[in-house]
Amino acid sequence: QEKLDMSMYPVESIRNFSIIAHVDHGKSTLADRLLEITGTIAKTDRNKQVLDKLQVERERGITVKAQSASLFYSHEGVNYLLNLIDTPGHVDFSYEVSRSLSACQGVILVVDANEGIQAQTVANFYLAFEAQLAIIPVINKIDLKNADPERVEKQIEKLFDIPIDECVRISAKQGTNVEKVLQKVIEKIPPPHCNTADPLKALVFDSTFDHYRGVIANIALFGGEIQKGHKIVSAHTKKRYEVNEVGILTPNEQPTHKLYAGQVGYLIAGMKEVTEAQIGDTLFLYKQPVEPLPGFKSAKPMVFAVMNPADQTEYNNLKSALERLTLNDSSVTVHRDSSLALGAGWRLGFLGLLHMEVFNQRLEQEYNMSVILTAPTVPYKAILSSAKLIKEYGKAEITIINPAQFPDKLSVSEYLEPTVFGTIVTPHEYIGKIIALCQDRRAVQKDMLYIDEHRVMLKYLFPLNEIVVDFYDALKSLSSGYASFDYEDAGYQAADLIKMDILLNGSPVEELATIIHNDKAYATGKFLPRTSLILSYLKYGLIIVYVILFYRLKAYRKNVVAKCYGGDITRRMKLLKRQAEGKKLMRKIGNVEVPRDAFIRVLKRQTDK
C-alpha cells in the first residue's frame, strides 16, 4: 500500500473537530455525508454508520466508541486536512466524549430540528465550552414533516447564548447544506497551536487491541514529528519502544511516511501488554523528555456488578477476554471477587447501566463468552469511629462496593451515599408526573427553567442508587418517550443506610445482601422474598426467611390431603399430623442447600418495583 506524504499539510491548514449531540440526533449520519463529500468513501446507499464498527453499535443504532477519520478537502484553492472524531451521545459514554475533545480545537453541535435541545445536548455543550473549543451549532433533520428549525434556533440562543444567524440548517440524510458545514469548520475552528520544530509530544487519546500487531494507539501530535524507526518513551510507564508503523485513519488505516505536529493518526510500536497504552499518556522521543500533557480525569465507575463465568472451567478464557476488552474500554474497573455460591469472578465498575449491557454484549459477540452478571449496586462510603477498624483499614473513610463488607453501625460515625446532578428536559404537560417520580426517588429539586413555551428543563439532586436500575425506563413511560435525562457526579452526602440481610433457614446469605436506605427497607424487604425466593420454596420443604422486623414467609407445602375425596375425617387428620411431624424434624436437622442456578435467578432480580 502506497504511503501518504503528510508534509503537504502544514499546521495552518489542519482542523481537528468533533461531532457532539444527544443520542439519535444524527451524528453518525452527518459523519457519513462528510466522508462522502470529501471523497474519503465512495457514495453508495450502503453508507450507514460507517464509523460505527462494532456489531453492538450497528444492532442498537448507537455510537459506543468514539471513532476518528482524516478528510482531505479543498476550499478556495487551499488543501485542508480535517480530522473528524464521531462521539457517542448517551450519558454513560460522556467519558469517550471528553477524551475526544482533548484532541480537538472545535466541535459541531448537532440538534434535532424535530426534538430540539435535549439533556445530553446541554451536557455536551458544557463539556466543549469548558474546554474552550469553537462551537458550530447545526440543526439536523430539517426534511422531517414536523421539523421546526426556528423554534430550535431560539432554544440555542436562549440556553447557549449563540446568535441565531450562526446556526446551520441541514439534512444529513439527504445531504442538504452539508457542504456549508465543512466551510464553517474551516472558517470558525482555529488550527492547532503547535510547531513541527518542537520536540515530539504526542497524546494517546484512544487505543484498540489487534491480535497480530498488539496495541494500536490513536495519537494527537502537539509538537514535533514521528516516523517508523523512532525510539519513543511513555511518560506514564517510562518504557521504551521502537515505532513500527504510523498512519492516519480514512477511516481504515492508511500508513504514512511521517506524522507532523497538529495531525491525528495511529501508531504501532510493539506494545504487547494491555496496560501499556494508558489513555491520556504522553509519548516523547528517547533522550528528548518533555513536560507531560495534562491527560484526563480518570473515569469514575457509577455502578458495580459481579461477573462470573457460566462454567468455572472457562475462568481463564474469561480473564483473557476481560483484559483485552478493558484495553478497548479503559473506563471499566476490575477487582477480583469470589463467593461460595457463584465461585471465582470479578467485581466490575461501569459508568452506567447501558455501559454494563453493552460491555456484556461485546463479551458475548467478540469473545464468545457466556457470563453471569448480578444486579447492579453503587459504591457507598463510611466514616469509621472505631479505632480498631481505622487501624485495620489505615484510614477513617472507606469505600464499600461489596455489601458483605458493610461495617456495623456501632463502629461508624456516618454513612455516605453517592449523588448525581440530574437534568431532565420534558414537554410541559408531563411536569406533574415527573416531579412525583423524582420525589418518590428521594430527589431534591434545584432548578426549573422553561426553554420555550412547550419545553421545561428540570434540575434535581438524586441519590445514585435511586436512578441506577429503572429510573430512565420509568421516566420514558411517564412522558410517552418524550423526556430526556442526563446526569453528572455530585459527590457524596450523609444518609441513613442499613444492610439488608436475607436469611435462609436462619443463616445469612452473603450473595443476597444489599445496602438500602432505611426509609425504603421495609417495602423492599417485603417485596424481595415474595418474588425472588419463590423458586426456592418450590424445591424445598421448609425455608424460613426473616427480613426487617422478622418478616416471615410461610413455606410452600405439599397438599397431602388432595387425594382424600370425602370419607372419614380421621384419615385427613392422620395425613396432616404426619406432615407436621416431618416438618418439625426438618426444623431440627434440615439444612437448606440452594443450587447455583437458583442464586443466579435471584441475583438477576429487578430490585425496585
Decide if 63 contacts 89 (C-beta within 8 A): yes
What is each CA distance from 545 to 411, 534, 540, in whole angstroms? Answer: 27, 11, 13
What is the bridge-based pairing of β-strands 106-112 and 134-140?
parallel
Cα 132 to Cα 69, 127, 167, 341, distances in angstroms: 23, 9, 19, 51
State the Cα–Cα distance between residues 242 and 229, nearest whole angstrom.
Answer: 6
Closest CA to 332 of 310, 352, 308: 352
Q: What is the pLDDT of residue 91?
A: 66
Q: What residues have CB less than 8 Å from 82, skipping those under 6 apart?
A: 14, 15, 17, 34, 38, 70, 71, 72, 73, 182, 185, 186
Spatial separation of the C-alpha atoms in residues 401 and 7, rounded to whole Å: 51
Say if residues 215 and 274 touch (Cβ distance below 8 Å). Answer: yes
pLDDT of residue 150: 92
Round to whole Å and give the CA distance between 355 and 136: 28
Rounded CA separation 597/603 (Å): 10
Q: How confident is the model over 544-571, as pLDDT tens digits? A: 333 334 445 555 567 777 777 777 778 7
DSSP 530: H
**Euclidean distance between CA atoms 587 and 541, whole angstroms:** 10
The full DSSP string for 27-88 is HHHHHHHHHHHTTSS---TT-SSTT--SHHHHHHT---S-EEEEEEEEETTEEEEEEEEE--
Decide if 17 contacts 23 (C-beta within 8 A): no
Q: Which H or E run contains 304?
A: strand 303-309
What DSSP letter does each residue of 109-157 carry, written as one string? EEEETTT-S-HHHHHHHHHHHHTT-EEEEEEE-TTSTT--HHHHHHHHH
pLDDT at position 462, please? 92
Given this model, what pLDDT does residue 332 score?
Answer: 84
**Confidence at residue 531, expressed as pLDDT on a 0 to 100 scale:** 41
Instruction: Give the pTM.
Output: 0.74
**Half-sphere exposure (CA, 13 Å, Cβ side) for 463?**
20
Write down all domains in the chain, each with its CATH number in brackets.
Answer: 11-188 (3.40.50.300), 201-285 (2.40.30.10), 303-373 (3.30.70.870), 380-495 (3.30.70.240), 499-608 (no CATH)
Residue 593 has which C-alpha cell? 442447600
Separation CA 422–CA 96 (nearest Å):
19
In sequence order, the 6+-apart residues with CB closer than 8 A to the CB of 112 are 21, 22, 24, 25, 26, 118, 139, 140, 141, 152
Cis? peptide before 251, omega within 30° of 0: yes
| Rounded distance between C-alpha atoms, residue 81 and residue 103, angstroms | 14
Q: What's the pLDDT at 534?
A: 38
The angle formed by the CA atoms of residues 41, 45 and 46, to the nearest 5 degrees, is 70
For the record, the C-alpha cell of 44 comes out as 453508495
Helices (H), 409-555: 431-440, 464-467, 471-478, 518-532, 534-537
Burial of 581 (0-12, 13-18, 19+ CB in 10 A): exposed
Give me the DSSP letters along 327-371: HH-TT-EEEEEEETTTEEEEEEEESSHHHHHHHHHHHHHHH---E
Instruction: Tell me the per-residue pLDDT of 331-386, one tens digit each, with 9 for 90 and over.
Output: 788 888 877 667 788 888 888 778 888 888 888 888 888 888 777 788 899 998 88
Tell which residue, 184, 174, 180, 183, has the closest CA to residue 33: 174
Query: Which residues of the chain fall short of a pLDDT of 70?
Result: 1-2, 44-61, 63-66, 89-92, 94, 96, 273-275, 295-299, 328, 340-341, 504-506, 511, 525-557, 583-609
Contact 122, 425 (CB under 8 A): yes
Q: What are the distances in angstroms from CA 607 to CA 141, 515, 524, 528, 548?
A: 39, 12, 8, 7, 16
Residue tagged 466541535 (cell numbers): 107
